[in-house]
C-alpha cells in the first residue's frame, strides 16, 4: 500500500509540472502516430505508465485540436480477446488495449516513436467501432 501511495504522490508532482508547462505549443502530432505519453499512476485496472515519467506508448487515434486527442495505450504483451487488437512490428507481437481509449492533453506527449501502418490502423479503428 505504501508503494501505491508513493507512486501517486510522485505522479501528482509530475502531473503538476506537465500541466504548468507550455510544451503543447511546440508539440505537433497527428492520427496514426505512436508516442510515449505520461499516462500516470491510475486507479484500479486503468492502464498505468511506467518509469519516472509514468510513460507508456500510445497510438493517436484522433486529433481534435492541438491541445487534445484520443489515445490508445499499447502493450508489448500479445494480449488475446475482444478488447485487444494484435499487430506485429519488427517481428514482435504487440497489442492495442482498445478498452482503455482515453482523451488526453497533448502536454502528456513526450516523444514520437513512429507512424503506425495504415492497414493496421484502419483494422484497429474498425474493431474499436465494433465495441460501441
| Nearest to 31, CA basis, from 65, 81, 78, 77 | 65
Domain extent, residue 32, equals 2-131
Q: Give pLDDT, residue 16.
A: 78
Q: Judging by DSSP bridges, how do beta strands 109-115 and 33-38 pair with one another?
A: antiparallel
**What's the residue count for the chain?**
132
**pLDDT tens sequence across 113-122:** 999 999 999 9
Compute the mean pLDDT over every residue in the chain, rounded to the nearest whole number: 88
**For position 21, which CATH number holds?**
2.30.30.110
Q: Which residue has the higher pLDDT, 42 or 20?
A: 20
Q: Give pLDDT, residue 25.
A: 62
Number of structural domains, the chain?
A: 1
pTM of the entire predicted model: 0.85
Q: From residue 20, give the alpha-carbon distance in Å to each of 14, 23, 68.
A: 10, 9, 16
Residue 27 DSSP label: -
| Nearest to 61, CA basis, from 11, 94, 89, 102 | 102
Q: From residue 68, give the alpha-carbon distance in Å to each of 27, 58, 85, 104.
A: 11, 14, 23, 6
Contact 87, 120 (CB under 8 A): yes
The rounded radius of gyration (Å) of the Cα atoms in the chain is: 15
Amino acid at each position: 500500500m505504501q508503494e501505491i501511495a508513493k507512486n501517486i504522490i510522485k505522479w501528482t508532482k509530475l502531473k503538476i509540472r506537465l500541466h504548468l508547462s507550455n510544451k503543447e505549443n511546440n508539440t505537433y502530432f497527428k492520427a496514426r502516430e505512436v508516442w510515449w505519453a505520461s499516462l500516470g499512476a491510475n486507479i484500479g485496472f486503468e492502464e498505468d505508465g511506467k518509469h519516472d515519467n509514468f510513460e507508456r506508448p500510445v497510438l493517436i487515434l484522433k486529433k481534435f485540436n492541438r491541445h487534445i486527442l484520443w489515445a490508445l495505450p499499447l502493450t508489448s504483451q500479445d494480449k488475446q480477446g475482444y478488447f485487444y487488437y494484435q499487430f506485429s512490428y519488427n517481428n514482435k507481437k504487440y497489442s492495442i488495449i482498445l478498452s482503455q481509449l482515453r482523451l488526453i492533453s497533448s502536454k502528456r506527449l513526450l516523444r514520437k516513436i513512429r507512424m503506425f501502418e495504415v492497414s493496421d490502423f484502419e483494422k484497429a479503428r474498425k474493431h474499436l467501432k465494433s465495441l460501441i
